[in-house]
Structure 1
Amino acid sequence: MAILITLITVLATALGGFLALRSRDRMHLLLGLSAGLLLGLVAFDLIPEVLELNTQRLAGIPTPMVAFVVGFLALHMMERLFGSHEPADSDYGDDHSHTRLSTGVIGAGAMVIHVFLDGVGVGLAFQVSNSVGFAVAIAVISHAFTDGLNTVMLLIRSGRWRTKAIALLALDGVARLLGATIGTYLTLSQPLLGIYLALFAGFLVYLSTSHVLPEAHSNHPSRWTLLATLLGVVVMFGIVSLGESA
C-alpha cells in the first residue's frame, strides 16, 4: 500500500512541476491547503502517536519531542548549508550568494534527500496503522505538488532546467519509491519507530512553516491563502477523527 501511495506522490510531484510552468495564478491556494494539511497531520496524528510509541524521557523531556526538534533543526541546517528549497515565489529577494551550481544541483539534490525521507515516513506510518498511514499519505501527496514546483524553479535558476528537469524529477520519483520500499520492509521496535516518526514530524513542520506558507503568501492576498490553510487543518482533523473512530 505504501508503495502504491508513493507512486501517486510521484505523479503529484510531476504535476506540481507542470503547474509551476503553466499556471501559477492559483498555486498559493494549493500551497496554503498543503501547509494546513501538514500542520494538522503533525498536531492531530503524528505527535499523539509517537508519544504512545515511545514513552522514554531524556533529562525529563519526552524523547520523541527531542527528536521532533532535532528533525526541525537538522533540515534547517542542511538547507542553510546547501541553499536548497528556497521559496520559488519569494518576496524577500535573492540576496543570497548561492552559486548556480549550488542552487541548481546541490540544492535540488538536497531536496531529493528529503523526498527519500518522505517515502520512508509513508512506509513506516503504515506499520503503525492504516489510519496513520493514510493521513501521512494525504499530507505528503499535497506537499509533493510543492516539491515539483520547487524542483522546477531551482533548475530554472540554475540556467540548465531544459536538460535537467526530466532527469531530476525522475530521480525525485526513484528516491520516493526507494524510501517507501525501505520503510515498508524495515522492521523497527516501537520506540525506534516513534523516534523516526517524531523526526519526520519535525521535517514536516519545518517545510510547512519555512517554505510552504511563505510561498503561499508571497505576492498574493493573504486572506484566501489563510482560509485555504485553515481548510487544510480542518480537513486533516476530520480525516484523523474518522480514522480513530473507525
Structure 2
Amino acid sequence: MAVFVALGAFLMTLFGGWTAQRVTDRRHLVLGLAGGLMLGVVGLDLLPEAMRAAGEEIFGVPQALLLFVGGFLVAHLVERLLAGRQAAHGGDPQGGGGHGAAPGKDGRVPQLGVTAAAAMVGHSVMDGIALGAAFQIGSGMGTAVALAVIAHDFADGFNTYTLTSLYGNDRRKAIMMLVADAVAPVLGAASTLLFTLPEEVLGSYLGFFGGALLYLAAAEILPEAHHEHPARSTLLCTVLGVVFIWLVVGFAG
C-alpha cells in the first residue's frame, strides 16, 4: 500500500519541477516562492517533527536542535569549501551560461547546486521511509502521513529543480535531479518492506536536514530573489510559499 501511495508523491514531485521550469521568465518570483516553501517546510514541518521524535536534551539543548544548528553550519562549510576550490581554479563557475545560471553572480558553484539537490533526494527517500513506517503502524497513521508527503512533494520538486538550475547547471542536469527526487520516495517506501527505521534516528535526520535547508533558503535563495528585482511581488511569493506549507501541515494534521 505504501509503495502505491508513494506513486502519488512521484507525480506531485514531477509537477512541482515542471511548474518551476515553466515560469523561468519570472525567475525572481520563482526564487521568492522557493524560499518561502523552504522556510515553511523547515519551520512548520521538519523542525516540529524532529523535536517530537528526537527531543531528548543533550547538555541542556534538545538533540534535534543541536543537529539543526549542525546542519546549518555544515551547509555553510560545504559552500565555502566549494567556493574556495572554484576560485583556486579560475574563479568562474563551471557551466556558467547554461540554463538557469545566476546572472551577475560571480563564484556560483554548479557542484553546490547538485549537492543541495542530492540532499533533497535524500530527504525524499526519508519521506518514503516515513510513509512506509506509518502504514506499518496503521492505516489511519499511514493516510495522514501520505497526505503530508504527497502535498509537500510539490515543494520538493519545485525546490530541487530551482536549486540545481540556480547555480548554473544546465536544464538536462536539473531534470535528472528532479527525476531522481521523484523516484526517491517510491524507493524509500519499498525499503520499509525490509527494515524499520527507529523514530529517534528519523527525527535526528530531519533536524540536520532542516538546518541545511534553512541555510540555503536564507543565504542563497532569498538574497538571489531580491538581487535584481527587490519587488513587493517577490516578497508576496515568499509569504505565499510559507502559507502554502502551513495549510498543507494543517490539513494533513
TM-score bin, normalised by smaller chain = 0.7 to 0.9
Q: Could you tell me which residue of structure 1 aligns to residue 154 of structure 2?
A: 141
More displaced 10-residue stretch of structure 1: 127-136 or 228-237 = 127-136
What CA distance in whole angstroms lies between the structure 1 residues aligned with 2:56 and 2:152? 27
Asked if structure 1 preserves the Cα contact closer than 8 Å seen for 2:76 and 2:215, the reply is yes
Further displaced range: 29-38 or 51-60: 29-38
Q: Cα offset for 1:17?
A: 4.3
Superposition map of 1:64-83 within 5 A:
64-83=64-83
1:190 aligns with 2:199: yes
8 Å CA contact retained: 2:47, 2:210: yes
Question: Structure 1 vs Structure 2: percent identity of aligned residues?
Answer: 31
- 2:6 is aligned to 2
CA distance in 1, matches of 2:184, 2:117: 11
Counterpart check, 1:122 vs 2:131: no
Matched, 1:13 2:17: yes
Structure 1, gaps ≥5 residues long:
none
Distance (Å, rounded) in 2 between the aligned partners of 1:190 and 1:111: 24
1:2 maps to amino acid: A
**8 Å Cα contact 1:17-1:150 kept in structure 2:** no
After superposing on structure 2, the runs of 4+ consecutive aligned residues of structure 1 that deviate more than 6 Å are 84-87
> Partner of 2:55: helix, strand, or coil?
coil
Superposed displacement of residue 222, structure 1: 3.0
Structure 1 distance, partners of 2:101, 2:78, is 18
5+ residue gaps, structure 2: 87-92, 135-140
Aligned length: 224
The aligned counterpart of 1:220 is 229
Q: What is the Cα-based RMSD across aligned positions, in Å?
A: 3.3
Hey, what does 2:43 align to over in structure 1? 43
Q: TM-score, normalised by structure 1?
A: 0.73
| Deviation at residue 233 of structure 1 after TM alignment | 2.0
Q: CA deviation at 1:31?
A: 2.5
Aligned mates of 2:6, 2:188 — CA distance in 1:
8
Change (3 A) 1:54 1:149: closer
* Pairwise CA distance, 1:74: 1.7
Aligned to 1:199: 208
Pairwise CA distance, 1:193: 1.2
TM-score (norm 2): 0.71
